[in-house]
Structure 1
Amino acid sequence: MILYAFPVRTAFTDRDLEMISPVAAIKPLEFTQSPVKLPFHFILQFFQLLWFLPQTSQYLCFFGGYHSVLPVWFGKVFGKKCTIQAGGTDCINMPEIGYGNFRKKWLRKATVYSFKNCSLILPVAEALVKQDYSYDSSISPKQGLLNLIPDLKTPIQVIPNGFDTDFWKASGKERNTLTFISVATGTSNLSRAMVKGYDLIEKLAKAHPNWEFTLVGDSNYVSPNSNVKVLRKMNPSELLALYNSHQFYLQLSTSEGFPNALGEAMACGCIPIGSAVGAIPEIIGDSGVILTEKNLHVLDSAIQDFAKQDLNSFSQKAILRISRLFNFGLRKKALLEALELIS
């Protein structure tokens, strides 16, 4: 049995469970993101790991952090493989915007211990391994695991996310022109909103009151612009309909690993507009706009120039790019091989 530890259950973790459960028994163990509850969850997790020890063949963690310390320790002590999937915040140090595990002393120590002592690291993007960050000039350029942990010796294998293109697909319905959508949770928190690029989206919305913007994922987020519609967190079917009614998808994150919503939206035919951070440029390729610096005027100009082209061809490029390079099957095969569940 695989014990799968993560700080909070997300679409990422659900997809992993969906991939692994047909070929191996897997037990999800949710930890906590609350600092107040940390001591209790360390004790709880210790006894969970002890209880399941006789049946456990290996450990899997999503993100490195507090929740991965004990699985890594158990793996070392009892000679069991422990794999950590690096997802984004665990490879970043951006105190300027209040983001990244490495900006907090004890969380940094937990993250460094986990990555140094696990058996294998599976980042979702090459940029999480090592990157010379330049999108926001106010932020330190040295990001990624090898910059933040220079003496890291643990084997690393990049496995991008994958998408179910039988579900995430274009419906063929007419889309309203100059309609933009972005999806992120927790954005009523100012720091989180900045990480996801909402500050730049709001500036763009203010500059173009005739353009329509939809921000999905946090009904408590408040927009100062009347042309910005804020919606709650949606289920996959609701998101599918929303993607298919919008022309563009905005992923203007200040920092990112491999954004799920971007891939979903592109599979549905949304034309992507994204920042040059994390795996975003790799995902978008030649199917949309890649913003190399956090600058409203550069963004505005790029969109207006782009809108004069044959947008339907770019929509088709986006669909084909996800289906060929980032489909569910490719990630499933790579993940199962890395976990030694198939040969």
Structure 2
Amino acid sequence: MPRPEILFLTSSLSSFAEGDLRMLRETYPVREVVTGGSPAGSLTEKFSLGLAILSGVLRTDLTFSWFAHNHAYLAVMVARLLGKKSLVVVGGYEVAREPEIGYGALLDPEMGKKVRYVIENADCILAVSEFSKREIVAVAGPRRIETVYNGVDTSVFSPGGPKENIILTVCNVSTENIVVKGLDTFIDAARHLPEVRFVLFGRDLDGALNTLNLDAPPNVEFVPSPSEGELLQWYRRTKVYCQLSYRESFGVALAEAMSCECVPVVTDRGALSEVVGGVGFVVPYGDTRATVDAISRALTSDMGPVARERVRDIFSVERRGKELRRIIATLQS
């Protein structure tokens, strides 16, 4: 059977979407549409997007959409009309409804209808964790759904050099993420461990870094203009990686850090404990005392190497690529 040509669509080329695009190009002819992440846009922009998707679907055999946003809604609809196959990766935000923190696409009724249409009409929905799979099924009934974990390139994200007593967290810094990513708890924990170095690594999106800086003790360091090479070096130096989020559908940075033999400390929310398994420490969200205790224990833990082995066994790019190729083959058979 000839290799299918794929139309790859995403609202933004995040590291995980870009990784899938790179893997797909190794095996298939691929066309791509990157929408830029605009939730609405002008009529001209909507028309241009619709035209690009129509043209792409006509010229390819299968659509592969990252995120069940507007681009996936149009791609699934056009693919059904033209008798083509569609596959959609649900990142997690699309099926979230967290009114307490104003988070999730389902808080918008119009977007919720589009998400449900995508889930019910795509030929295959991919969840990035079992947690996310349960959320997807609770929103709507997919024709077919499979869990394929996000992949980490363990040949790149690898240990190197001695570990230092550094506590690292990685995320984009925004007013919303202070709560969503548990940055307030991270900084509060640093206050209780003044002799330990805490590092927040991530771009400042809306000036929230200034707010955090005003409240941060002297042992908190901010790296606001990071590069990928810098991030790898921080992972390699860091002893403990924290993901103290309100919710996560997977946690790519967490898996990258584990691959570099960082000992993970995570909250009991979303898929974080699913990713960590038994090779780290799990604490209640927002519980500073429990977080401080877990960080203290992680600093003396020797679980870094087994954390890396877990990523190599379950969350490698090779495993994800193999699963994607298998699923695409079944859709084309």
Q: TM-score, normalization: structure 1?
A: 0.88
Matched, 1:123 2:127: yes
In the alignment, the residues of structure 2 paired with residue 195 and residue 41 of structure 1 have an alpha-carbon distance, to the nearest angstrom, of 31
Letter in 2 for 1:319: R
CA deviation after TM superposition for structure 1 residue 2, in Å: 1.1
In the alignment, the residues of structure 1 paired with residue 257 and residue 137 of structure 2 have an alpha-carbon distance, to the nearest angstrom, of 31
- The answer to whether the 8 Å contact 1:31/1:41 transfers is no
- The answer to whether the 8 Å contact 1:58/1:82 transfers is yes
Letter in 1 for 2:260: C
Letter in 2 for 1:51: S
Matched, 1:204 2:189: yes
Question: In structure 2, what is the equivalent of residue 195 of structure 1?
Answer: 180
For the residue of structure 1 that corresponds to 2:33, the secondary structure is strand
More helix by share: 2
- The answer to whether the 8 Å contact 2:67/2:90 transfers is yes
Matched, 1:30 2:43: no
Question: In structure 1, what is the equivalent of residue 170 of structure 2?
Answer: 183
In the alignment, the residues of structure 1 paired with residue 323 and residue 271 of structure 2 have an alpha-carbon distance, to the nearest angstrom, of 17
In the alignment, the residues of structure 2 paired with residue 306 and residue 47 of structure 1 have an alpha-carbon distance, to the nearest angstrom, of 52
Q: What fraction of aligned residue pairs are identical, expressed as a percent? A: 26
Aligned runs of 1:318-333 on 2, under 5 Å? Answer: 318-333=307-322
- The answer to whether the 8 Å contact 1:8/1:31 transfers is yes
CA deviation after TM superposition for structure 1 residue 109, in Å: 1.5
Which consecutive unaligned segments of at least 5 residues does structure 2 have?
none
- The answer to whether the 8 Å contact 2:148/2:323 transfers is yes
Question: In structure 2, what is the equivalent of residue 18 of structure 1?
Answer: 22
Question: In structure 2, what is the equivalent of residue 66 of structure 1?
Answer: 70
In the alignment, the residues of structure 1 paired with residue 222 and residue 112 of structure 2 have an alpha-carbon distance, to the nearest angstrom, of 34
Question: In structure 2, what is the equivalent of residue 314 of structure 1?
Answer: 303
Letter in 2 for 1:191: E
CA deviation after TM superposition for structure 1 residue 271, in Å: 0.7
RMSD: 1.9
CA deviation after TM superposition for structure 1 residue 305, in Å: 4.0
CA deviation after TM superposition for structure 1 residue 278, in Å: 2.7
Question: In structure 2, what is the equivalent of residue 269 of structure 1?
Answer: 261
- The answer to whether the 8 Å contact 2:149/2:315 transfers is yes
For the residue of structure 1 that corresponds to 2:9, the secondary structure is strand
Q: 1:302 aligns with which of 277, 294, 307?
A: 294
Tell me which moved more, 61-70 or 206-215: 206-215
Matched, 1:6 2:10: yes
Cα distance change, pair 339–235 in 1 and its aligned pair in 2 (3 A):
farther
**Count of aligned pairs:** 321
Q: 1:213 aligns with which of 190, 198, 201?
A: 198
Question: In structure 2, what is the equivalent of residue 260 of structure 1?
Answer: 252
For the residue of structure 1 that corresponds to 2:266, the secondary structure is strand
Letter in 2 for 1:23: T
Deviations 1:10-34 (A, max 9, x none): 1011100111101111122111333
Question: In structure 1, what is the equivalent of residue 231 of structure 2?
Answer: 239
In the alignment, the residues of structure 2 paired with residue 7 and residue 237 of structure 1 have an alpha-carbon distance, to the nearest angstrom, of 25
Matched, 1:145 2:149: no
Cα distance change, pair 231–39 in 1 and its aligned pair in 2 (3 A):
farther
Cα distance change, pair 293–253 in 1 and its aligned pair in 2 (3 A):
closer
Which consecutive unaligned segments of at least 5 residues does structure 1 have?
131-143
Tell me which moved more, 207-216 or 257-266: 207-216
Aligned runs of 1:56-95 on 2, under 5 Å? Answer: 56-95=60-99
Deviations 1:56-110 (A, max 9, x none): 1111111112221110111110011111101110121112112111011211122
Letter in 2 for 1:212: R
For the residue of structure 1 that corresponds to 2:37, the secondary structure is coil
Letter in 1 for 2:137: L
Cα distance change, pair 101–259 in 1 and its aligned pair in 2 (3 A):
same
In the alignment, the residues of structure 1 paired with residue 104 and residue 43 of structure 2 have an alpha-carbon distance, to the nearest angstrom, of 21
- The answer to whether the 8 Å contact 2:240/2:295 transfers is no
In the alignment, the residues of structure 1 paired with residue 44 and residue 287 of structure 2 have an alpha-carbon distance, to the nearest angstrom, of 44
Deviations 1:112-143 (A, max 9, x none): 1111111110010010122xxxxxxxxxxxxx
Cα distance change, pair 199–154 in 1 and its aligned pair in 2 (3 A):
farther
Deviations 1:262-320 (A, max 9, x none): 1111111111111122322122122210114431122223333444x5x2x21111111
- The answer to whether the 8 Å contact 2:33/2:53 transfers is no
